[in-house]
Amino acid sequence: MSRADRIAALHQAAKERILVLDGSWGVMIQRRELSEAEFRGARFADHPVQMKGNNDILCLTRPDVISDLHDQYFAAGADITETNTFSATTIAQEDYSLAPQDVFDLNLAGAQLARAEADRWTAKEPHKPRFVAGAIGPLNKMLSMSSDVNDPGARLVTFDQVYEAYRQQVLALHEGGVDLYLIETITDTLNCKAAIKAILDLQDEGLEALPIWISGTIVDRSGRTLSGQTAEAFWHSVRHAKPFAVGFNCALGGELMRPFIAELARVADTLVAAYPNAGLPNAMGQYDEQPHETAHFIEEWAKSGLVNIVGGCCGTTPEHIRHVAEEVAGVTPRAIPERPTAMRLSGLEPFELVA
């Protein structure tokens, strides 16, 4: 199946059913209890910086682990798997002293591993094609917020540096065969805008256009992102990208995330996606919410007509995804609302002036 055929199939599948994304990668990799030597592999055997904890590097050093996780999530019922490239930018990988070529290779390998498993499952179950989302995660440096409490204008990076980091990642993911881009766990909307610009610029330069899925993060019960925006203001900030889907993930469990998903479902004239944590972490940083509990919350969202794509974030396992897939099977996906023509502006709060 060509990439164009896969994208057409993705759009068709989204009309027919609620799509299911995979779950947490971090929790599943942690369960492997890999050693420092396994993280390093032969390529980084003499690397001067500790590599354990750099989960993305496993695309190069333990590809068998990554392929197996894609397989587990597809077997659990996922329609879409993410590449294991959440922190695979030159900026984020500075913590591990990786060279730009290493980062490019990491993204390329991550996309190729996911592509191979998606194609294998599609061949085995042609009635249910599987898709690959190129994971473009947040940075450890923010453009919207100061890095120094004594200097409001202080920044550790410039917009151009963030743009170039995302541009390289997008190129590698595209070359590796992803079907769509997933800009996820967005805490800083300006960082997100740099990723969007990188994608759109590359398309203007002739790179084949792929669907864009944008997923922000509401950090607490205030209903705002870390950079201060409400759910509706966040949507107004990214709507110009004409995303395939918009939504929220991480930070909150399904129970606390619901009102913010409902707000997006009201205002977004595109697909709405949500993949919550398995509840809130306990005192030890572990997630106690059981698969049937997570699935119960998501089932209610689905039956209330709030979502088009669902999945799991921190603490969710293939078993969580299996329960989610079972609960949303046969539920009609959310109908995309028709919004009146209006001038809509974004800041920390939304502004709308209907014509």
Phi, psi torsion values for 170, nearest 5 degrees: -60, -45
Judge contact between 212 and 243, C-beta under 8 A: yes
Cα 212 to Cα 178, 279, 353: the distances in Å are 11, 27, 27
Which phi-psi region, left, alpha or beta, contains residue 223 (left: φ > 0; alpha: ψ -120 to 50)? left
DSSP class of residue 56 equals G
Q: Report the distance separating Cα 290 and Cα 296, nearest Å.
A: 10
Going edge to edge, which strands form the sheet with 309-310? 19-20, 309-310, 271-277, 245-253, 212-216, 180-186, 131-136, 80-82
Read off the tokens for 130: 């599987």
Beta bridge partners of 248: 216, 274
Which run of H or of E encompasses 237? helix 231-238
Q: Is 314 annotated as a binding residue?
A: yes
Separation between Cα atoms, residue 146 and residue 143, nearest integer Å: 8
Helix locations, the chain, DSSP H: 3-16, 26-32, 36-40, 58-61, 63-76, 100-124, 159-176, 189-204, 231-238, 254-267, 291-303, 318-328
Binding residue per annotation — 59?
A: no
Contact 10, 309 (CB under 8 A): no
Q: Which amino acids are annotated as binding site, given as ranges?
A: 250, 313-314
Q: Which amino acids are annotated as binding site for Zn(2+), given as ranges?
A: 250, 313-314
